Amino acid sequence: MGIESEASNSKSATASYDAAAAAAAAAGEGGWNKARGMVVKTLVLIGGALLLKRLTKSTTRWDHARLVSRSLSGEKFSKDQASRDPDHYFNFRMLTCPAAEMVDGSKVLYFEQAFWRTPQKPFRQRFYMVKPCPKELKCDVELSTYAIRDAEEYKNFCDRPKDQRPLPEEVIGDIAEHLTTIHLKRCDRGKRLYEGSTPPVGFPNSWNGASYCTSELSILRNNEIHVWDRGYDDDGNQVWGPKDGPYEYKPAPASSNNDMFSPFSFPIQQSTEKRIEGSFVLRE
């Protein structure tokens, strides 16, 4: 359909040009300048119409998946949020990058999370799989999280030169246990591009006494990511995860990377062990 449309538009442009040229010939040399102006106007109008058609082309399901993949990728920090509320949040580094592509076109991203002071020692490593939602669901993008078969082999994957990373076929072979799936929907207006969550019943999880976990995700227009992961026991009591709201990850400006890792850029009020406990484990 697209090829036929382009061919039709091309024929229309040619016909319009021929008509304008014929008018110029009929007018003689004295009317050539006027006819040439008409030719230029005709081509400008046709070109503008074709450009408008391309710009207003409807976004496909795969377009949504690619946009989510790009938005998730990169280095992001929760520094601003930790500075505002150091008792409940601390500065994490979140790093995500493309790792492979499945046969069906699904994107596989590698994700790791670490303390900003020790980015070389991630404490959480995952694979993300990003693809369009199934047609029967009312959503745009399906984001699934998987464990990594040999996580140690992938440590600092995104920071390495490409020739020192596991190959795409190795990545696909190392996709292990499915952990969660979030269904994202495009937002109509406002700062948020996409938002979604796991089903209310969540997914199985046994960390720190939990029996299931839930996750909420929002992608903002400035590539900011809000993530709210929580674990619950059999009685529905929250046993891990932040209680007051999601973590807010913002891309670090390139010019401020040195300041980000300066020992004077972030106040240390608690030991690392206590801050981990306060972040992931709820205390009375």
Tens-of-pLDDT digits for all 284 residues of the chain? 444 444 455 555 555 555 555 555 555 555 656 656 665 566 556 655 555 444 445 789 999 999 999 999 999 999 999 999 999 998 999 999 999 999 999 999 999 999 999 999 999 999 999 999 999 999 999 999 999 999 999 999 999 999 999 999 999 999 999 999 999 999 988 889 999 999 989 999 999 999 999 999 999 998 999 999 999 999 999 999 999 999 999 998 764 444 444 433 444 344 444 444 344 444 33
Phi, psi of 194 (to 5 degrees): -140, 150
In whole angstroms, how large is the CA radius of gyration of the chain?
A: 26
Q: For position 22, what pLDDT does the model report?
A: 54
Q: For position 119, what pLDDT does the model report?
A: 96
Cβ contacts of 103 within 8 Å, gap of 6 or more: none
The residue extents of the domains of the chain are 2-55, 61-280
- Compute the distance between CA of residue 103 and CA of residue 12 in angstroms, rounded to an integer: 40
Mean pLDDT of the chain: 82
Please count the other Cβ atoms lying within 10 Å of the Cβ belonging to residue 24.
19
Selected from 3.40.50.720, 1.10.3720.10, 2.40.128.590, 3.40.630.30, the CATH number assigned to the domain covering 61-280 reads 2.40.128.590
**Residue labelled with tokens 């929907």:** 185
Q: What is the dihedral of CA 229, 147, 140, 195, to 10 degrees?
A: 20
